[in-house]
Structure formats: C-alpha cells, structure tokens
Structure 1
Amino acid sequence: MSKLVLSVFLIISSANAFAFAKPPPPQPPTNPPGYSVVTPELGNKVVKNLMENYYDTRANCGASHRSSYLCSGITLRGTQPGNYHVWEPSPSSEKSGGVSFSYLRTDAKFSRLAYGYKSGFTIYPTFELVGSALDLEYLCFFPVDADTNRRDDAGCGAHTSYQSSSGECNAQGIYTDGQWVNHYNSTSSNGDNRDHHQCGFNIQYYYPNATEFVASNFYQGLQAMRDVSGQTHNKQNEIRIKTWDKSLGRQTPVQAFFYIDITGQEGLNEARSYQQDFYNMYGLIKPVVKLDLPATWDDEANLRSQWMIKVFNL
C-alpha cells in the first residue's frame, strides 16, 4: 500500500537513517571554505511539525469562527520554475486577486498536485506565525479543483460555464457536506462539468459575522471532499488565498520547499533551486521536504527523515 511520506533533504551527501526517538550522534561536517552549513535539526523539526499537523483532524481551532486551517493540516502550493520567484503570487494571481493552494490532512487526501507539478512549498498555519511573517487571508475552499482561473471574485465566485449555480455555497443555501454533494452530483459527470458546477465555501476569518459559519464551512468542505473521494481522489482540493504584496517576499510564511519523486530527479532539482533562490534573496534557509501523496483514500501518512547536509555559497 502506498504511503504518504515526508522526508527532509537538507542536502546532498550520503544519508543515514534518522529516528526522532533515538537519533544517531551528530557527525561533525567538514566545511569547505566560503560555505555555511545547515544542521539536520532544522529539517527534522519542520517534518515533525508537518506530520503532527497532518494528523490533527480538529473541526475548528477552539471557536466557531476559527477554521481548522489556522492551526492544523498542511497548506501547500504546487509550482514549477518560471520567470518569477515561486513563493510570490503568479502574474495571473496578481490580476485575479487570489492565489491557489491545496490543503492536505489525513481527512483531506489527494494523489496529485495541480497540473501534475512535481514541487512547491508549504506555508505555516496562521497560529504558528512568528515575528513579521505575513498573515495570509484565506478566502474560500473548494473540495475539488474548481478551475478558479475562470471564476470571478478572486476565484471564489461563479464559474463562467455555470453563472447562476456555481457561486458561493452559503448564497445558495448550501451549508453542509450532504447539501454540497447533492449540488455537485446534480449535473452531468462528463468531463469537468461537476468540478466547474461546484460551489465554494466561504472561509474568511475576517468576514463580517464570520462567527456564524466560517469554521463549519471549512469542516463541511473537508467532509464533502471525503464523500466524493471515490470520484475525485486524483484531483486536489483548492483553497484561494488573497493575493499578497510580492515585495514582502522575506515575510512570506514559507515553511518548507517540497518535491514529489514521480520519476527521476526533476522535482528534487526544482525544490533545491527554490531553496537556493530563497537563500540568495533573503539569507534565510528553508528545508527541502520529500512528499509522497497517498495513492488511494485508504493510504495513510508515514514519516522518514534522513541525515543530509546542505551547503550554501556565501
């Protein structure tokens, strides 16, 4: 059975197995002149945190207006190298007002990333932010990839193919996972019709009267994702986050860069390039994490960390 596995790569030398419960004694690295060395503790800490959040299935973060994305799960964005820094909003996101992410948790699983991407980055949950890190504003949640490039309202509104029936769930009287599933299945299953026809749950933490529904909205969306997983496990869910100021890149709450080992080294090489780019820009080191997505809904997460040392040119 395939497992979801997170492994940390803080570089590229030979690996020794590392167990959190009883780690091997550290081996002092040999530092080449003009380099700084990253110790494994950084990556081990991040991997441990990611897996704890992955298994945390709380319905909210202590209050009816505090959605569980604030304190649990893994919020991630699939990317590929391009003509902008991957942690910045894309040009299309700057135009639309929203950036697409996905949410991975033991009760919110999927087997692939958008567009078949092989790499990307994770962001810290809001309640784990420290210092001047940006508090990104979550807007809406779709249990299945919603083709938000063809939706209005920062990607949270109606799809161009279903203008009258694919807008915000609450506006249509849809508040529960059962209601969402009925709406999703109410149109033809040909192509991506149902994905385009689905409604999105409003999950804005700062939305007026948010205490009435926002945490429930997100949790109902997660339950809806589970309910249609037999049809959609090969499609990631979609969260829209309000586009942030890309000039504040240093404050973007990047937790780690990740890659998916589909074939060859492409994903790993991409993630390493993001890591080096972030360091070159801000002098900050983010670990590279190996992510194996579960092949089926019944597959579960596992954690593996390896002792590897990453060196950065000064």
Structure 2
Amino acid sequence: MTKDCSDSAVLSRRISSLALALTLPLLLNTALAQPQPDPLDTLKRINSNYNTLKDSCQEPDTGAARGLYYCSGVTLRMVNDGPFNPWDYSPYAIKIGATSYSWIRKDLSTRILIHPAGFILRTPTDAAALNLPVKEQGFTCIYAFDGGTGPERKWYGCGFFDSREPPRAAQGVMNNRNAALAYGTCAEAGVSTAEQWTQKYTGLMKGPIQYGQCSWNAEKPSDWKAMIRVHESRPNTTNKDPFAFSAQVNEFMLKNATATNDGSENMKYIDAFIYNVNSTQNFATRGDQAPPKPENGLNSARNFQKKLQARGYSVPILRLDFTKPAEQRFSYVAADQAIDLGAASGTQPPPLAAQYIASADWIKRYDPGTRKDEWSLSIVPTAAGRALPKEQIDAIYQQLFALKGADSNWRDNEKSVGSMRQQLSCVLVNYRNKTPWNLEPFRPALSDSETRAAGCNPVPR
C-alpha cells in the first residue's frame, strides 16, 4: 500500500479549454463548476452499489466489457490528513506512477481500512447517468490483498515484485476504452482461477503473499470474480501474512494523471468523503516518514470536504460502519458536514459563474530582469475575460486563484503578498489584447503606477 501524505512540488500541468469549460471548478462567490447531486441521493446510490452484486459491466455506447468497478461496488481511497490535498499524489505514489485504492462490496468481508477517512470515486456508470464527468481510463490492476506496491512493481504497481518490466504475452485482446492501460500478472503466471492462485501463493514454504501474489487485470470480469473468491477464501491468516485475510482490503491501482503531486484531475470524480466510525487507526504504509498515530476520521473528513469545496465541488461526508447491516453500510448525518449542502434542504445551487480563463499553465522561462529562469503562469483569457472592466478585476482573480492558487509554484514563491493580483490588474488594464498573459510569483507588489512603468513586470530591488 503506497504512502498517502503528499508535499512534492508541482512542476507543471496542462489545463485545456475544454476541461476548464466542463469540469474544473471556477469559483466566483459560491458558484459551482458542475451540478452537485442531492447528498441523500448520493447515499442511496452508494449503498445500492455496495449491495448490488453485478457480475458484468459494459460501456453504455459500445457494449465493451469492463471491470466490476465500472458499475458495481464502491471504489475508495483512505488517506491521512495533513498540509496537502487528499486527492494529490504522495511522493511514493509518484515513484510508482500510480496510487492505491480499494474496492469493497457486500460479497467481500472487508472490515479493516488503512486509514480512518478518505473519499469515494463515483462509478463511471453513475457518472454517465448523472451527466457528470466519466472516468473511462486509468485503473490498471487489482490485488486480492494488499500488494506491498512500490517501485519494484513496474507498470503502475501491477508488475511482479522484481523491478523488471513485466511480460505481456498472455494478456489477450480487449476492446474497451481502458484496454491500453489494464494489465495483470496473474495471466502471465498462468493463474486464472482462485484454485490456481491458492496453489501458487499459499503454503508454509512459500514467501509472503503480500509481495509474491500476482495482480488481476482491472478490465477482465473473470479476473474480478477470481479475485473475490481468493479474498473470501482466507478468513484467517498467519503472522507471515498479516494482510492476507478476508477482513483486510484489496489493492486497486489507478495510474496518476500527472508526473507531479498534482492530483486535481481526480476532483471531479469524487462522489463523497467517508470516515470509519469504529476506528481511529492509521496503518503503516510504504514511504511513511514517521510512525503512524491515531486520527479522528470525522475531523479529517471535514477538512477534506472544505478543501474540495474551496476548489468548487461540494460533496457529502458519509459514515462507514462495518458493524451495521450491509444495507446500512453508509449513512448520512447532517451534523457531520463541515459545509452547507444546499441540495439536502431542497434549495437550488447558484447559477454558474461566467468563465474568464480559458487555460492557465506553469512554464519556466528566462527572465531578463533577474537573468535566470523563473516560473511564469501563462494565461489565455476567454473573450469574456479579455473584455472584463478593470473594476471587476476580483472576478477574474478569484477564478484564477481557484484554479492555480494552491499550486506550490504560486504558494511558495509569491513572497510579496498581492503581487499576482497586481500583475493581473496591470495586464488587464494595459495589455488586455496580448496573448498570453504572463504572471510571475517572484515579482514585488508595487503601486499601480510603478507596476505600469515596469511594463507589468517589476523586479525585486
């Protein structure tokens, strides 16, 4: 299981106009980037997904077979809280190129989670039905139990534990949208059934299951069925295999969307935050920088919820209770929420804000003033943004800050408070027809006249 906390620097990330128009949060007061489902409807869907034992899933338009996660069960990531976003990638996950999730359903006996709080990813089937962004690509493999994933397992955590690129001769042909990424070593090891898995990976003379086990292909329904049977075949375990028994989690690998710690691509797929009402335990994970300590899951979930709302998405916190009947596995309590979920009280969400930013990208370029390479935020405004009166500078600045203000390039390098806003105002007033607009966090915040005299590019004195 890969480490959960993350503080690596963000280097760069491309944001397309289409992604901005359809999926990224653009905050203006409390306006939302996408419609938010009623929290009680979300609760009903998630409980239904947990309890409905589907054995096949298909893409709605092509009919191509997909893994069971696509339309069934609950895909979750448990993560500890800290000075980072829960959806971002940890330093250890960056080394792997993928991040660990788990998949739970009524026919799995899982009752122990790696952390007390986390989030649920919306199933692609639900997202399509709700007209929300659909995550069609990214999941690679699933292990019946914690796979001890690390850089030793190539192909995004799915290879054999030998630091070598895994073979692909036995993968077969798939025609779904995720076929190029999905992979499993079980096929390469000649394992296609639960019985074959048990024969190969258990026994007193064999190595620990955590590192020895093969991975199941994320998009083969038969692999999912075998994974479930393997997981349920071990109601008990030994000291040699503390993570390989049915109360523990499986490990479901999702390829990172970037090579940095920036996991904001995942924000639009988050369905809910959750916390385990019966546990405050943080388990040790590979890549930990310090011993784990107990954590209040509700407090963490509330922090997660506020962080996501600040980026333009409001989703509920749900309780997860493995002691309740399966039909009540998840529950919604209004008092748990850290934000106002207007949909729960029947109010309508505010109208969408006008969009002023078409794209915003970090680039590194030579600056003649400092005579060295500096980080620059290269902005392409929309027509509405370019035409915005100078009196409405706050509107475009709020949207820009919502998009990029949490990035370390901005957060760590704006030494003069208000510098980025000052440059944006200067460009809007004096160079609105220029493309792109470039803002640099290292620049000092001066008066309007001084900034204008410097061509909107003042340098530290």
TM range (shorter): 0.7 to 0.9
Q: RMSD of the alignment, in Å?
A: 3.2
**Is 1:241 matched up with 2:258?**
no
Contact 2:233/2:246 (CA < 8 Å) preserved in 1? no
Gaps of 5+ in 1: 1-33, 206-213
Give, as a single letter, the amino acid of the residue that structure 2 aligns with 1:271: A
1:4-19 → structure 2 map (5 Å cutoff): none
Deviation of 1:223 after TM superposition, in Å, equals 1.5
The answer to whether residue 151 in structure 2 is matched with residue 155 in structure 1 is no
Give matches, 1:149-228, under 5 Å.
149=150, 150-160=152-162, 168-186=185-203, 188=205, 193-203=208-218, 205=219, 214-228=220-234
Distance 1:225 1:279, change over 3 A: same
Residue 253, structure 1, aligned to residue 269, structure 2: yes
Q: Which has the larger radius of gyration?
A: 2
Return closer, same or farther for 1:134/1:83 CA change in 2, 3 Å cut-off. Answer: farther
Shift of 1:187: 5.3
Q: Aligned pair in 2 of structure 1 residues 111, 251: CA closer, same or farther (>3 Å)? A: closer
- Cα distance, 1:84–1:188 mapped onto 2, change above 3 Å: farther
How far apart, CA to CA, are the structure 1 residues paired with 2:229 and 2:221?
13
Contact 1:89/1:243 (CA < 8 Å) preserved in 2? yes
Is the counterpart of residue 48 in structure 1 residue 72 in structure 2?
A: no
Summarize the Cα distance change of 1:182–1:161 in structure 2 as closer, same or farther, 3 Å threshold: farther
Distance in 2, matches of 1:277 and 1:48, equals 24
Mapped partners of 1:188, 1:195: distance in 2: 15
Mean CA deviation greater in 86-95 or 180-189: 180-189
1-structure distance, mates of 2:164, 2:65: 30
In the alignment, structure 2 segments of 5+ residues that lack a partner are 1-28, 32-36, 167-183, 238-244, 281-293, 341-461
The one-letter amino acid paired with 2:272 is: A
Give, in whole Å, the separation in 1 of the partners of 2:334 and 2:83. Answer: 32
Tell me, yes or no, if structure 1 residue 103 matches structure 2 residue 103: yes
Letter paired with 1:243 = N
Are 2:287 and 1:272 aligned?
no
The reply to whether residue 59 of structure 1 matches residue 55 of structure 2 is: yes
Deviation at 1:73, TM superposition (A): 0.1
Match of 1:89 in 2: 89
Q: Which amino acid aligns with 1:72?
A: S
Q: Distance in 2 between matches of 1:217 and 1:35?
A: 44
**Deviation (angstroms), 1:250:** 6.6
Q: Residue 279 and residue 133 in structure 1: after superposition, are their counterparts in 2 closer, same or farther (change >3 A)?
A: farther
SS at match of 2:333: strand
3-state DSSP class of the match of 1:222? helix
Residues 1:120 and 1:311: Cα distance change in structure 2 (over 3 Å): closer
Distance 2:137 2:322 in 1: 25
CA distance in 1, matches of 2:272, 2:156: 26
C-alpha separation in 2, matches of 1:276 and 1:147: 31
- 1:229 pairs, out of 227, 232, 235, with 235
Assess if the C-alpha contact under 8 Å between 2:143 and 2:215 holds in 1: yes
Label 1:189 to 1:305 Cα distance change in 2 as closer, same or farther (>3 A).
farther
Residues 162 and 135 of structure 1, relative CA distance in 2, 3 Å threshold: closer
Structure ranking higher on relative contact order (CA contacts 8 Å, 6+ apart): 1
Shift of 1:64: 7.4
Q: Which residue matches 1:72?
A: 72
- Work out the CA distance in 2 between the residues paired with 1:278 and 1:305: 18
Compute the TM-score of the two structures, normalised by the length of structure 1.
0.72
The residue number in structure 2 matching 1:142 is 143
Please say if residues 294 and 301 of structure 1, whose CA atoms lie closer than 8 Å, have aligned partners that are also in contact. no
Question: Kindly, what percent of the aligned residue pairs are identical?
Answer: 24
Partner of 2:118: 120
Equivalence for 2:373: none
How many residues are matched?
258
